[in-house]
Amino acid sequence: MKCSLKGGLLLLTVASFCSRGHALALQRLPFPVPAAVKGSITVDGNNCVYAAMGKEDAPLIFLVHGFGASKYHWRYQMPYLAEQGFRVVAPDLLGFGESDKPITQYTPELWVRQCAALMEEQNALAKKKDRKAMVAGNSLGGYVALALASERKDLIASATLLNGAGKFANGMREDDPPKPGPSPIDNMMQIVSDALQRMALTTTFFYTKQPARIEQVLRQVYIDSTNVDADLIESIRRPSDDEKAAEVFYRIVSRTATGAITFKDTIDGRLAKLDPSFPLYLLWGQQDPWIRPITADKIQSIRPETRRVNLPAGHCPHDEVPTAVNEALVQFMAEIGLSPTAA
């Protein structure tokens, strides 16, 4: 491992292997993420922290992390893509990382507003009001990327899902009538159920925030655990020290598991809102034990024109096989005419 100083920013250089098997030197962000590349904006009264690298007016790549992770999870993408001539921005979604953890309802709309506000701020800095970005997201971030693409076509040129999360419609139709509201008895039962669930999830939270448990989970979803290191583990553990972290964990997990869903919120509904010519890409770790390749298969069955690259990785291909992911993202940007030379 080597260290280098570029533009006042300390970068770690590590050996990584691309899909063709030869070694390449990849720089990565150190942890904690240096102040030199961090910024923040206010959205809905909440402080939203992000990392940004590259020239402000360069073609924009917007990276969205998954559940429990943060901007640091893009540690191998940000230096490389900036070096290739892109502007690279990675937020901490509200409820995660260094961003505020408000006691609120965590919905796709909340994160879409946050990401859109940050993109608009970046475009204002670049004096490029009409600039569109590629948005790429992993796991929960993949769903946020898809939601952002479906809701803010004025900001998004293409979307790349890396083992993206989300629920399919499974027979639900767009014109299905809304479900009837709960009765008073149902409400009482829900209060009791919520209390029990909150106790169980709080216990789970304090168990899962332990470094040994974090490492154990990561090793289950990284097929090659070489990059499961102390910095990654600490980047996941540290935000859990926030006094509101347990309540946020409960609100996100309970809503994801039991919350009502409309057709609009399904993957099918999000895909239906995309223009037929919209460039949608899938980068899929084929050995993901959580979000299996059948999810990518189903997306392609709904939208056959979707471009897909299979990767020898688990749930987090961007951190497990970063060289392959980096090369694919650069290629996708070129395909949609957003390479630095075309800008």
CA proximity to 143, closest of 155, 159, 132: 159
What 3-state class would DSSP assign to 321? coil
Q: Quick one: tokens of 341?
A: 């030379």
Give the Cα separation of 186 and 51 in Å (integer): 44
Domains of the chain as residue ranges with CATH: 2-173+261-335 (3.40.50.1820)
Provide φ and ψ at 167, rounded to 5°: -105, 145
pLDDT (tens place) for every residue of the chain, 343 residues total: 444 444 445 555 444 444 433 335 689 999 999 999 999 999 999 999 999 999 999 999 999 999 999 999 999 999 999 999 999 999 999 999 999 999 998 999 999 999 999 999 999 999 999 999 999 999 999 999 999 999 999 999 999 999 999 999 988 877 665 444 443 433 333 433 444 444 454 555 555 678 988 899 899 999 999 999 999 999 999 998 888 888 887 788 766 544 567 888 999 999 999 999 999 999 999 999 999 999 999 999 999 999 999 999 999 999 999 999 999 999 999 999 999 976 5
What 3-state class would DSSP assign to 131? coil
Identity of the amino acid at 67:
F
What 3-state class would DSSP assign to 95? coil
Residue 112 makes CB contacts below 8 A (sequence gap 6+) with: 144, 147, 148, 151, 152
